[in-house]
Amino acid sequence: MSSIAPQRAAPSPSVEAKPYRAAHALLDALRAEGVRFIFGYPGGAIMPVYDALVDHPIRHILVRHEQAAALAANGYARFTGEVGVCMATSGPGATNLITGIADAYLDSVPMVAITGQVATFLMGTDAFQEVDTFGLTLPVVKHSFIVREAEALPAIVHEAFRIARSGRPGPVLVDLPKDVANRPIFAKPSHPVPDPPLPECNPCALERARHLLARAARPVLYTGYGVFLARAERALRAFVEATRIPTVSTLKGLGGLPTDHPCFLGMLGMHGSRAANQAVQEADLLICVGARFDDRATGKLDGFAPKARVIHIDGDPGEISKLRYAEVALCGDLSRILDALSLRPVPPEWGRRVEALKASDRPRYDAPGRFIYAPALIRRLYERLPEDAVVTCDVGQHQMWVAQHGVHRSIRQHLTSGGLGTMGFGLPAAIGVKLADPERTVVCVTGDGSFMMNVQELATLRRYGIAVKILLLDNAALGMVRQWQELFHDRRYSEVDLSDNPDFAALARVFGLWAARLESRDQIDALLQEWLRSEGPALLHVPIDPKANVWPLVPPNKANHEQLMET
């Protein structure tokens, strides 16, 4: 499939070389940090940096909306573990980045966002495309910089990267006024700043944790995204293999322990498995590893794991005992802590009880009706994907079906928006992943509502020949909102009807993608195969039952064991 290479003007040999400016120093500092891609969109205030990009080896990816730049940087960072970089101009360019910045903040994703700003002598005058980007982003970044001295820019960049990736990762803003970016500067060596060491775990706390583990009759391991942030998947799996402790996971922690592992009970929480939620409710010891007792995981907090004492293991001391008191707090390197804990196998009677819970909670995929059954389709998809495939997911019912019925082998292979719940996350995030690893199969599972949030990024796929495969589940509605209106608002449906959706396959073809429509169950195997094997980016449009709901569901202000089940 042909793709459009970004056009860069060759400098004329007759033109005198331009002086080394702050904009060049910015890019050189980014390169020193190992940056390969900048996701962005140009404009007036950031133009000096785009001028410097013409002659620079860092590759810029032109998205079609600044929000997509931040979400693509998010996907890149979450897959690689490196800092993602996005860039936009002042005013609307910066404000369009904010949703993606907030998403990174709530999901602890390392990111540096670079925004142009009006010249320093115009700041505060309501100049064209001037907004207070520093003030607007303050609640959703780890730190913000306004660059006022050109010579300070390289050091600011390196400090921004250190802050973004150290401790609990998150986004950092660098706001660069246009006149500062244009200033000539003396080229100085540019060096990254080393990350501070992790705190040492308290040996007395470790001994107390060993004591609780030795006495526990019904332990449960509760894992989250912090396992990935700490690069502790190996240690977690070794710990489970040695202890056989039943394990549950948050949405973003899925894959820390492979979901087909015998000790894995499923996702817990609002749409978690009955086995996972019930085991937590019966536990007498909860070992929380890299999770934060989020409301979507715990349900009614004072009814969560009511019989359990808590060991909380995390790299961020601010999370420990923030929502649930921990009898033992273990803060530091998660791998070293897990390796240091005693490895007593679970009592046999608890193992038998958990096996019974899991056996009684196996999903069925033989739903009647003429519509394609989304959980069965998701399961069939995962059976056909390579084991190292990455699935990015948007927000809504399809997000929960992927979490419940997908086979997740690593946290970085299942990417979705957790804390902010950003519709439109899936496609830009998939772009970031596919650019990071072009040989890997990358699938975006989306819904009709979420897809339209960033549909313009089909043009980005086409321009760069990014072979993302899009599975679009279309229920002609804002499905999750419709489900809640059905269950908790007396079926008073309000603004959830999307029955005037376009022909998505035809729309994708207009953008130059391979596209097909999957309408009957006997087409599933053939079309999945054709779609996955197609050259370049491709979209498979799948109409599903507009009345289909996600089960189970914990109602608002209820404990997790009070789940509603499909009737």
User: How confident is the model over 336-371, as pLDDT tens digits?
Assistant: 999 999 788 999 999 999 999 999 999 989 888 889
| 21 pLDDT more than 60 | yes
pLDDT tens, position by position, 196-221: 888 888 899 999 999 999 999 999 99
194 or 46, which is more confident?
46
Write the single-letter amino acid at 35.
V
Q: What is the pLDDT of residue 18?
A: 72
The whole-angstrom distance between residue 549's C-alpha and the CA centroid of its chain comes to: 24
Could you tell me how many residues make up the chain? 567
Q: Which domains does the chain have, with CATH numbers?
A: 22-182 (3.40.50.970), 203-359 (3.40.50.1220), 374-543 (3.40.50.970)
108 or 6, which is more confident?
108
Whether cis (ω within 30° of 0) applies to the bond prior to 262 is: no
Tokens matching residue 270: 């609002």
534 or 567, which is more confident?
534
Q: What percent of the chain has pLDDT over 90?
A: 89
Q: What is the pLDDT of residue 17?
A: 61
For residue 5, what pLDDT band results from cuts at 50, 70 and 90? very low
567 or 504, which is more confident?
504
pTM here is 0.94
Tell me the C-alpha distance between 479 and 498, whole Å. 10
pLDDT tens, position by position, 369-422: 889 999 999 999 999 999 999 999 999 999 999 999 999 999 999 999 999 999
pLDDT tens, position by position, 269-289: 999 999 999 999 999 999 999
Residue located via tokens 């804990």: 341
Catalytic residues: 66, 128-129, 178, 480
For residue 191, what pLDDT band results from cuts at 50, 70 and 90? confident
Tell me the C-alpha distance between 337 and 493, whole Å. 50
Q: For residues 281-304, give the mean pLDDT.
A: 95
E strand map for 82-235 = 84-88, 111-117, 143-146, 171-177, 219-223
| 2 pLDDT more than 50 | no
CB–CB of 402/457 below 8 Å? Answer: no
Tell me the C-alpha distance between 34 and 57, whole Å. 11
Q: For residues 516-521, give the mean pLDDT.
A: 95
pLDDT tens, position by position, 380-389: 999 999 999 9
Q: For residues 62-66, give the mean pLDDT.
A: 98
If you average pLDDT over each of 7-21, 27-41, 330-344, which comes out highest?
27-41
Q: What is the pLDDT of residue 343?
A: 80
Through-space distance between the first and last CA atoms of the chain, rounded to whole angstroms: 48
Write the single-letter amino acid at 380.
R
Q: For residues 22-27, give the mean pLDDT.
A: 96
Q: Which pairs with CB-CB distance under 8 Å and at least 24 residues apart come from 559-562? A: 559/281, 559/299, 559/300, 559/303, 559/304, 559/306, 560/268, 560/269, 560/272, 560/277, 560/280, 560/281, 560/298, 560/299, 560/303, 560/304, 561/277, 561/278, 561/281, 561/303, 562/299
Helix ranges (H only) for 320-447 are 334-340, 348-359, 374-384, 397-405, 426-436
